[in-house]
Structure 1
């Protein structure tokens, strides 16, 4: 029996503003309860609401002007080829951990060096191909590969990898009509527990920090801290003149740069979906980014009716949702948007 609310499109691009507002509420609550001197100010809240409104406008524009309803087919991606390369991705990530000399999840020093070139190949390869495999050749047995991927990449110590894999697969299966009530509950529990556990274990492995918060409190704290960083960015809006964007597509660490620039100490920071673009280009940049994301996600969503379009949309949506906290500061994730652009071009191409 299919999911009883199957007719409701839970993963329409409108889920982005819903999650943004949920993060804002949780962060606001967290800013009261923990070490912050004051709760989030009105300007921060209104700026985020403004960003949400612009995103929604982008979705509405795309719904009326740019909808593409067509299945994109890539015939050379056979079932066997997909499975082989998925296993290769798991092997590469396992080799990455071996070469690091330990498990990054339990060692903050190893974690800081865990996103190697091997990982940069293995993670997107696994993420993209497991979703395409399920979208084209769904079989329950392939869920074993999904769990293996979540485990192997989760050992890197980054909960975003686990959420990226499990979240995108969940959305893919939803659009395939494969999510029963029981399976849906199991998936949500695994995603939630996995993300909480990795975030908590990783925080405990930092030798210079001593956390007394439990895993749930830590979530509220992290969201509050991320939004507090964004609050400190707003008065500095537009002062980096595109430097963060250039770092994303060259060398350096945008998050570390933000830590030095905003808080004046050497730390890698998440600054929300809005922080990097606000620092670089101010409110004009924020408006363009949110409008683009709204239009782009809706166009890709219109291709998520069958075939690989489902898998690609699931990947892009999941990582956009992850960006709400972490910020779009990783070139590998922008590569996923490029993948979406290729999908659009293939859809527009005449048969």
Structure 2
């Protein structure tokens, strides 16, 4: 195999990462971490059925577009994403996060009480601005001095105590640099190892800082436990299909206007008490509308991700950064599920920009 031609960040890698996640959960079950006991075999069947529909979606979009040529209207892109505009947005995103921390009066990473209130509208706006702008800045105008802005922004988001946003920032940046700088394998391996260590540290510190909980697990055990726990929640969601009647989707789409966290609904439904919890990428659709909805979700996700992948591989430019952001969040969805409005907005923005600036024509034989 020619490893130089192997694209490790194609949409198919999602399947491999989900299988690794399942292996982590089995380790937790094997050692009965915090009394985890395992799941029903039917849940495993449903997971692999979902993965199958994801792969079918990838194949479907590839089949439709395999003889198509993509062309980019660079003038339209340059008007919107000049270096000054993108750099200004990066700085604005950083300043908003500083403002959010000042508003909170402390560092949520070290306080469970502060973390419970850290996801303000300022935080959301900061994330919505910073994540795409820093990736676009590095994809289009890669300059060593911009790495400092990346590090400053990353540290500020680490301070909020939320693993998912930190992971989205570092994973998306790795994917962006992978496509724009032709990273060598040793740097990719080192970056993945660094991301893994960062995941362990942020997750462990955040959990240990929750004043009303007591944890005795090591950082590595905690990682395995979260995988096993989330899979057990999915196991319960499989038995409760359709029980939320669209509440999760509604509260996700109304995220700017309603204070109800969809993950609290997941917890209330599967655990019987109000607790913010996750049910993997399959859980929300199963709870809202049942198996067929989950299969449609996975098919559409595979088709859309492969479409954006083909656009960015053909045209590069800002679409590298946008694809990196979306793929990073799809990775995170393996555990959390698609219950974040901001990620759906990233998908919407990406598809609008493709429609605005990309022309798709039938190519030659």
1:37 deviation in Å?
Answer: 5.1
Contact 2:73 2:358 in 1 (8 A): no
Identify the match of residue 164 of structure 1 among 161, 168, 173: 168
- In the other structure, the counterpart of 1:23 is 21
Residue of structure 1 in register with 2:209 after alignment: 205
Stretch deviating more after TM superposition (138-147 or 178-187) = 178-187
**Deviation of residue 332 (structure 1)?**
0.9
Distance in structure 2 (CA, Å) of the matches to 1:350 and 1:17: 28
- Note if 1:319 corresponds to 2:329: yes
Q: Report Cα offsets for 1:160-201 as digits up to 9, x if no partner.
A: 111111100110111113423453344223312211111000
Deviations 1:62-91 (A, max 9, x none): 111035634463112111221121011101
User: Which residue of structure 1 lines up, in the alignment, with residue 338 of structure 2?
Assistant: 328
Give distance in 2, aligned partners of 1:50 and 1:185: 31
Are residues 347 and 294 of structure 1, via their aligned partners in 2, closer, same or farther at CA, if it must alter by over 3 Å?
Answer: farther
Aligned residue in 1 for 2:124: 120
Would the aligned equivalents of 1:28 and 1:40 in 2 still touch at CA under 8 Å?
A: no
Per the normalisation by structure 2, the TM-score is 0.91
Deviates further, 95-104 or 18-27: 18-27
Distance 2:132 2:228 in 1: 31
Moved more, 340-349 or 87-96: 340-349
Q: Distance in 2 between matches of 1:258 and 1:50?
A: 22
What value does the CA root-mean-square deviation take over the aligned residues?
Answer: 1.7
Answer whether contact 2:28 2:224 (CA < 8 A) is retained.
Answer: yes
Residue 144 of structure 1: how far off its partner (Å): 1.7
Work out which of the residue numbers 291, 296, 309 in structure 2 matches 1:288.
296
| Gap change, CA 1:123 and 1:6, over 3 Å in 2 | farther
Q: CA deviation at 1:240?
A: 1.6
Distance 1:16 1:292 in 2: 14
State the shift of 1:348 in Å. Answer: 4.3
Matched, 1:14 2:22: no
Query: More deviation in 24-33 or 316-325?
Result: 24-33
Distance 1:70 1:135 in 2: 18
| CA drift at 1:145 | 1.6
Q: In the alignment, what sits opposite 2:274?
A: 266
Select 1:88's aligned residue among 89, 92, 103: 92
Which of 319, 325, 345 aligns to 1:309? It is 319
Secondary structure of residue in 1 paired with 2:238: helix
2:59 counterpart residue number: 60
List alignment gaps of at least 5 residues for structure 1.
none
Work out the CA distance in 2 between the residues paired with 1:247 and 1:316. Answer: 21
Determine if the alignment matches structure 1 residue 42 to structure 2 residue 45.
Answer: no
Q: Helix, strand or coil for the counterpart of 2:11?
A: coil
Number of equivalenced pairs: 348
Equivalent residues of 1:134, 1:173 under 8 A apart: yes
Task: Kindly report which structure 2 residues correspond to 1:132-281, keeping only aligned pairs within 5 A, or say none.
Answer: 132-250=136-254, 251=258, 252-281=260-289
